[in-house]
Each structure stands twice: as C-alpha cells, then as structure tokens.
Structure 1
C-alpha cells in the first residue's frame, strides 16, 4: 500500500514545486543596447531555469533565445546609424555624449510604452513582478503601478545617484568616489573636492535637466495623475536594485539591504563548448591567442581607418594568433595571424586557457569577464564611462589603456608589448579573479534568492530605507542643524537680555547708593 502511494506523492510534490515557482514576471528591457541586454537577460535566464513564468520585452533581438520564456520585440526604438561615429572618432566630451544619449533614451522610453504590442500587454495581462533594465528610463517604473505589483531594477555597473535614490542608498561623498571622477580610495583633498563638485553640482544638473526632467513629463503623459501615483511617489516604491558590481572591484561603500551586488551575473559557471572552427583555432594557436573586441555596439567600419590600421600593423607583427571581432567589411588589413569574425562568444573565448591578452574598449561587462577569467587587458576606451574604467584597470595593474583619438603605433605597441611581457599584469588579474569568485553565493544564486524573497513578501517593504521618503534637507540633517542653530541663537539672545538686565539693575543700585551718599 505504501509503495503504491509513492508515485502519487512524487507527482504531488512536483506540482507543489512547479506551482511555487509559477509567478508571472515581466522582464522589461527597453534600451536598444546589446551589452545591457546581456546583463539583464542573465537574470531572467537564472529565474527561468527554476520554472518562473517570464515574459521578456526588448527593443532589439535577443542574442540567444530561451525556449523557457516568452519574448516580445518592440520595433521603432533604435540607435541612429551614425550615433557612435563622432563619439568614438572625435573624442566627444562626456557632457555632449550624455545629452545625445539621454535624447535617444527619452524618445525610446515613450515609443516603447506607446507601441501597440506593449499597449495590448498592459491592457490584457497581469504580472506578479516587474524586472526593469535601467538606463535613464525612470518613467517606466510606472509599469509597477499599472500592474499593481513590486518592481526590481537591474543596472549594469556600480550604483549612480539615480540608482541610489531608488532605495535610499547613501552617497558618502567624502570617501566614495563617483563613477566618473577617476579617483581611487583613499581620496586626497583634491580628489574629494573634485568628487564633491561632480556629485553635488555637476551630476544633479545633468541628471535632472537632461534625464529626470524630460522623464517626468513623459511619465505624466503615459501615466496620467487621475489613474496613477505621481512620478515622485512611484519612484519610492522600488523593492530591490540589482547592480552588476562587486565590492572587490571597489570602491568600498555601505549599501542598504535593498541594493544587492550581482557582479559577474553574465559569466557562465561553466563555459559553453566553443564552435568547432573557433575551438580548433584556439587549441592550435602555438604561441597563444590575442582576443580583440570593442563590444557588441561597435563594428569595425565605425572606427577611424587610420587608427584601425595602426592597431592592425602592431598586432599583425606579433607571434600570436589574433582573434578579432570586427564586422563584415572594411578590414584594416590581411595577415596570416589575423582572423576576423563578425561575432564571437566572448565569455567562452576568454575562458580558454590559451588567451594571453584581451584588447577591449573598456566596457564594464567586458572588464568583468576578463577579470573573472584572469586575462590581462589593453584598453582603448571609446565613450561613456569606458575611459574611467580603463584608468582604474591601469591603476590596479590589470592592464594598460591607450586613448583612441591620440593613439599612435608607438603608444599602442608599447602598451600591448608591456602587458604581454611583464608578468605583473597577469599575476595581478589572476589574484583578483580569486577574490572576485570567493563569495558565499554566486551572482545567479543571489538573484534567485532576492527576487523570490521580494515575491514571497509581496514587495518586501521592510527592506526599504527610510531615506527614500526624506528630502535632501532631512537627509543632511539641515533642518535639525537649522533648528539647533535657531534655539542656540534664541538662548544666546535670552542670556544676553538677562545679563543686560542684571547689569542695569546693578548699575541702578549703585547709582541710588551714590546719590544717598
């Protein structure tokens, strides 16, 4: 009798497990940037493996499709073809880059919400949780209000001001260098002065004028006040922020419980098998491989031809096999040791023991994968935070960086040869790789636990810092300081009046005494 009940019990338990993980999750990743999508979809991959019912919405095709979740692609939002040309080849200042980037994102934020497929999804379906990829698209936090469910934010790098504000994470300007400051801990007086000016002056102006301000107007258009909470209120209801960062990368800083570090989420626990042609090339490279990639957004034909030729001339003379992700046309040259590919599985390539050097643009995702696999780098930063990323890489002796606009054959060649021949770079990066991997939970385990924690506790409001509901005056205790200053002033005035009164009484008494005498 007992044996007959075992199959029934097993089926019951399986059903319980399946039902326990059947939460409906909307993964909304609207930024038309492949490198961001790689990070965000790594989160959904981890959740899909456990049976969660996930709908992934993107504006560009998925690099790898997963049959375990539904994918909806929204057309009409893309980066202009010439968008990267001036940013890469002319060394455009960061503030100009930021303005043009936010203009593209502001337009994209509105277009995606107005897309017929998105309108249908919002009208006909319901979700238990929204996971939103963040890239200056605050208005889309309104999706959580629409579906009346918690929201989790996914971010690609260490937290910036607007990310910190979602969960009340402290800024700690005096000892936590801003992402764009280029400073390292401990900061000197000049570093702290520069950091203060960036965090308290430059950043608020740029973020609120070009990003947050337009987003607020678009929020009020897409989520009218007669049906939804205000823009300021809806941003206070973020349950969790997941950042693709780890404290071992620095800087050291305090984080509230609602901010979870998942650095390296896109790195596979075990590399996938390489395509046969790539595997054969890498296995048979006698002196090793130099892997060259400027990320998912930069194709070779975008690069200045003179600078591309410089890099080719240096690399083609080396006794290494050059595996170069370039594109389909306009190769900078042909050499027996140079192999061009339109696409390469970067994480799997870097995991191969024959890789001696990674020539990279310095995107955070690429740096993380290189560090994880212990491969030293030569960085040629092109735009955004890549310059600061590579400055930090060089400071920590994980590699060297060369500025693209001013690059010569000599500067690029010296950097490549130095990293290839000086063992300090490989030793430093492999030492860091051990630190980076030494954690109580893997990045994927952290994602699964904390996302399911939010689901189990209906948004986990107890994780939220009180700082979310405080204004700047309250956070800096300026109201308390002002009150104490006022009280001190009043006490001082009362004491002054009292002393003057005593003095006048004594003087009057002396005058009366003198008159009597």
Structure 2
C-alpha cells in the first residue's frame, strides 16, 4: 500500500511538471567553485524539464581547477568584476585559505572575505546596463544561492519572486525554521542531536553567540544596501531570507539529523548525482594492480588542494605508504614538492572523475575535506569516509558523518602520518562503517522522488499557484514580541501580580476586621 501511494505521489509530481507551461527562470551565481557547480546543475535540470533558463554568473575563476566543462543547453550571461577588485579579492582569499590551512583561521578573517563580497555586490549593482537587461527579460522566477547574499538584493532590485538554494546544512543560516535548542544543534557547536546536560548548556550559549555572528555577517552588506536603495525602501537582509518562496536545502536525512521543517523547505541533497560512466583506462589499469585490496580515493577539494602545505603533503604521503591498497589522489602534479618521493602505491592526478570512482566496486575508502557535495556523492554510493575538515561547514558535516557512523573525522591540526594511518585503518577494517554507509545509501535512494524531481515539482507548484504564501507560517509577518508571546506573558504576569496584590489587600482587610472584632468581644 505504501509503495502504491509513493508511485501515485511521484505520478502527480511528474504530471504537474509535464503539464506546466514553460517559465522564464533566472539562476544567479556570484561565486565559483562548488557553488557554481551546484547552480549549474540546477539550471540544467530546469532547462531539461521544459523551462527557459538563463544563468547570470560572475565569470572570473568560476570553475574548479582542471574541471571539464560540459556543454550547456541553457543560456548564460557573464559579469566580470573590475580588475582591481579581482586582484584585491583574490589576494585576500588566498591569504584567508593559507591562514586556515596553517590553523590560524578566525571568524574576523572570514568576515573580511564577506565584506569583499559586499563590495563586489556594490560594483554589480552599479551596472545599470546589466540590471536593465535582466529587468527587460521579465523573468517569472529567480533561483538564488545563499553563500553570497548579493543575489537576494538583485531579486529585490528586479522585484521578482525567488526561491533560494542553501548549499549546506540548514543550521548554517537562519531561514526561519523552528530550532528547538534541546535537540537541534546550533551551527559550529559541533554537537549532535543527542546532547547531555552540559551539551545543552553549550548549545544554548552557542545559540546566542552564533546569532551575533550571523548579524555581523549580514551587516557586511549594510553599506551596499544604503548606497543602492532609497531611504524608506531599504530592505533588511534577514527579512529577505524569509521572503524566499521556497528553500531548497542541499542535504538529506541520510546525513542530517531529523528536525522540524516548514512546508516551504525541501531537501534536495544529491542533486549533483549523475549517471555513472566508465573511468579512464589509465585509472582502471592502476586499480587492477592492487587486486582484491582495492583502492582509496583522496580528494580534498580544489581550494584545499591548491594551498596545502608541504608538511601536510608529506604526512599524508607517508600515511598512504602503509596500506596495501592503491591510492588515487587528486593533487596537482605541478605543486608536488620535489624533495618528497611519492609512495609506490600512490597515483596523483590533476583531475579525477570523482562520482565514477566512488561507484567503482573496488573502492574501500574516501578521504575527503568534508564538503557537503562530496559527502552527498559518497553517500550516494555507500562508501565510508575519513574526513579532514578545514573551514566553513566542513567540521559540522563531519560531526554528522561520525554520528551516523559513516566515517571518522580527523581535524587538520591533528593531521600526522600516524593519526591519518590509524583513522584510515579503522574505517577500512571495521565493517560497521561500510554497513552504516550502505544503510545511508538505502535512505538516500529510497525516496519516492529524486532530488531533481522534487526541485522541478515544487518550482512548478509555486509557478502554478502564484507563489508560496500558503506554505509560509504567519510567524514571518509577526513582530518578534508577538512571535515569542512576550506580550501575552507580560499580560498574564501582570494579571497574576495584580491578582496577588488584590488578594493581599483583601486578606489584610479581613485580618484587620477579625482583629478588631476580637478586641470588641474582650471589652
């Protein structure tokens, strides 16, 4: 019966998709790397399902190093920031990554990079020609991504409805979701949903601390808002987040902890998944040399791979040498230190087909930086992990991986030959990790709808119904004192105090009357 209901639900969603009219949709990506890849995939999915899609993106350093670009069927518009800004941003971002990899990353340094994104946004909003061109297209809907908040301001300028894609776990940004402190970990708390007393204390304190950090991040766009929006019409960035018709979250409950969601919140983790292709012959030949031992895949993301220290490379190379498995390592050969001899069982490549290698039957382990896209891809194929998180949401993602028993996390500051070898040996030899990874794979695959179907089905739903007002709680329109019942609490408190005062007065009068009555009887 449940299976039949699932099929009916899938049919209704797909029917709605097929019967809906093609809409003009603008997707916006103002940062590169994995964020671009995510928006590229969303754009292609919507285009393949009959919509007319245009992507507007920042055209500098858009692609991951070595990435093989595929042909697009959707339209795209590139914007190139001023050259002096590009140099300043690249210089600071290089510094930020080097500091993070040297274990000196701080929130203040991250805040500076957000401030530069705010400046980039100001440059963009000055381009009246671009904004007029986008306005003249008269798009029906915008799809924005949430690492940079500039796309929200673009949507406000164009006065168009928009949906938002959150590239990480929902706790990373306050989008109005109910978040009970008792079992929803605050972002950066590094807690799970099963907290003891002291965990609850930490989570409560982290709630106030992280709320302050969020306000500081959003405030980096205040000068841009003052410059480009007239007084009386200046949006509040936190309000714009709640203005989104839908929130698509790039995660899945195979990784995330169960938590309350609103009707306009949809999980689409695994949306980057593509059909598996045969791997290149040179990689197949390398894997074949290790027979039943199989191989380990190592990919720490394009940014980490570019800025890894020689010491880290040496420690990792020495650790890999201890294993009978082959190791395929995504590491640029041109950056490999000449004084470090590559281990005999290691092959380094500038680019690798990660999805196809994760699906290979001989894979035994994935060593990752803990980026959400890599984790979703790994769960897709049921492969256990060792994570070496560096910054951003990576430590938080790996907390979830450990809680689900899919792998173990090794903080960058503890990255040594012996610690990495021990973590890898633990995950490869303890079959419970592989079993948990396969269980997560079942959860990920057993949804009645694929992530792409959920994305398209819900976007078609709001296009057909004229928005998602019916999916948003009235709480988004309430003043904060009403939302938290402070006025009701103050009223009841006042009523209680007044009642107690009145009872006290009455009791005092009765007491005095009884006292006088006794005195009269005695006389």
TM-score range, shorter chain: 0.7 to 0.9
Is the counterpart of residue 455 in structure 1 residue 468 in structure 2? Answer: no
Is the counterpart of residue 205 in structure 1 residue 217 in structure 2? Answer: no
State the alpha-carbon separation in 2 of the partners of residues 465 and 185 from structure 1: 25
The residue aligned with 1:100 is 112
State the alpha-carbon separation in 1 of the partners of residues 392 and 499 from structure 2: 53
Deviation at 1:404, TM superposition (A): 2.3
8 Å CA contact 1:325, 1:340 repeated in 2: yes
8 Å CA contact 2:175, 2:242 repeated in 1: no
Is the counterpart of residue 499 in structure 1 residue 507 in structure 2? Answer: yes
8 Å CA contact 1:152, 1:239 repeated in 2: yes
Query: Equivalent residue of 1:440, what SS?
Result: coil
Q: Which among 84, 94, 109 is matched to residue 81 of structure 1?
A: 94
- Larger mean CA deviation between 41-50 and 328-337 belongs to 328-337
Deviation at 1:257, TM superposition (A): 0.3
Instruction: Summarize the Cα distance change of 1:115–1:285 in structure 2 as closer, same or farther, 3 Å threshold.
Output: farther
Deviation at 1:265, TM superposition (A): 1.2
Instruction: Summarize the Cα distance change of 1:355–1:121 in structure 2 as closer, same or farther, 3 Å threshold.
Output: farther
Is the counterpart of residue 309 in structure 1 residue 286 in structure 2? Answer: no
8 Å CA contact 2:131, 2:158 repeated in 1: no
Query: Equivalent residue of 1:55, what SS?
Result: strand
Cα deviations by residue, 1:157-211 (Å, 9 ceiling, x for unpaired): 221364423xxx1121121112321212221111111111111x211211112x1
Deviation at 1:439, TM superposition (A): 1.0
The residue aligned with 1:158 is 169
Query: Equivalent residue of 1:248, what SS?
Result: coil
For residues 51-62 of structure 1, what are the structure 2 equivalents within 5 Å?
Answer: 51-59=50-58, 60-61=61-62
The two structures have a TM-score, normalised by structure 2, of: 0.86
State the alpha-carbon separation in 2 of the partners of residues 307 and 285 from structure 1: 25
The residue aligned with 1:3 is none
Q: Which among 431, 444, 449 is matched to residue 452 of structure 2?
A: 444
Deviation at 1:282, TM superposition (A): 4.3
State the alpha-carbon separation in 2 of the partners of residues 50 and 272 from structure 1: 23
The residue aligned with 2:9 is none
For residues 378-457 of structure 1, what are the structure 2 equivalents within 5 Å?
Answer: 378-457=386-465
8 Å CA contact 1:326, 1:340 repeated in 2: yes
8 Å CA contact 1:57, 1:72 repeated in 2: yes
Is the counterpart of residue 294 in structure 1 residue 300 in structure 2? Answer: yes
Instruction: Summarize the Cα distance change of 1:191–1:220 in structure 2 as closer, same or farther, 3 Å threshold.
Output: same
State the alpha-carbon separation in 2 of the partners of residues 116 and 337 from structure 1: 56
State the alpha-carbon separation in 2 of the partners of residues 433 and 17 from structure 1: 27
8 Å CA contact 1:262, 1:443 repeated in 2: yes
Query: Equivalent residue of 2:245, what SS?
Result: strand
8 Å CA contact 1:362, 1:379 repeated in 2: yes
Q: What RMSD, in angstroms, separates the aligned Cα atoms of the two structures?
A: 2.7
Instruction: Summarize the Cα distance change of 1:406–1:248 in structure 2 as closer, same or farther, 3 Å threshold.
Output: closer
Cα deviations by residue, 1:284-317 (Å, 9 ceiling, x for unpaired): 65232211111132234x1111121111122134
8 Å CA contact 1:30, 1:108 repeated in 2: no
State the alpha-carbon separation in 1 of the partners of residues 24 and 45 from structure 2: 15
The residue aligned with 1:39 is 38
State the alpha-carbon separation in 2 of the partners of residues 465 and 488 from structure 1: 31
Query: Equivalent residue of 1:126, what SS?
Result: coil
State the alpha-carbon separation in 2 of the partners of residues 472 and 418 from structure 1: 49
- Larger mean CA deviation between 254-263 and 182-191 belongs to 182-191
Q: Which among 334, 341, 358 is matched to residue 342 of structure 2?
A: 334
Deviation at 1:511, TM superposition (A): 5.1
Deviation at 1:402, TM superposition (A): 2.2
- Larger mean CA deviation between 373-382 and 120-129 belongs to 120-129
The residue aligned with 1:141 is 152
Runs (5+) with no aligned partner, structure 2: 1-15
- Larger mean CA deviation between 118-127 and 356-365 belongs to 118-127
The residue aligned with 1:253 is 259
8 Å CA contact 1:25, 1:128 repeated in 2: yes
Is the counterpart of residue 237 in structure 1 residue 243 in structure 2? Answer: yes
The residue aligned with 2:201 is 193
Cα deviations by residue, 1:205-231 (Å, 9 ceiling, x for unpaired): 11112x122223322322334666565
Deviation at 1:238, TM superposition (A): 1.4
Runs (5+) with no aligned partner, structure 1: 1-15
State the alpha-carbon separation in 1 of the partners of residues 129 and 380 from structure 2: 39
The residue aligned with 2:3 is none
The two structures have a TM-score, normalised by structure 1, of: 0.87
The residue aligned with 1:126 is 138
Query: Equivalent residue of 2:412, what SS?
Result: coil
8 Å CA contact 2:27, 2:142 repeated in 1: yes
Deviation at 1:28, TM superposition (A): 0.7
State the alpha-carbon separation in 2 of the partners of residues 18 and 164 from structure 1: 30
Query: Equivalent residue of 1:239, what SS?
Result: coil
8 Å CA contact 1:360, 1:366 repeated in 2: yes
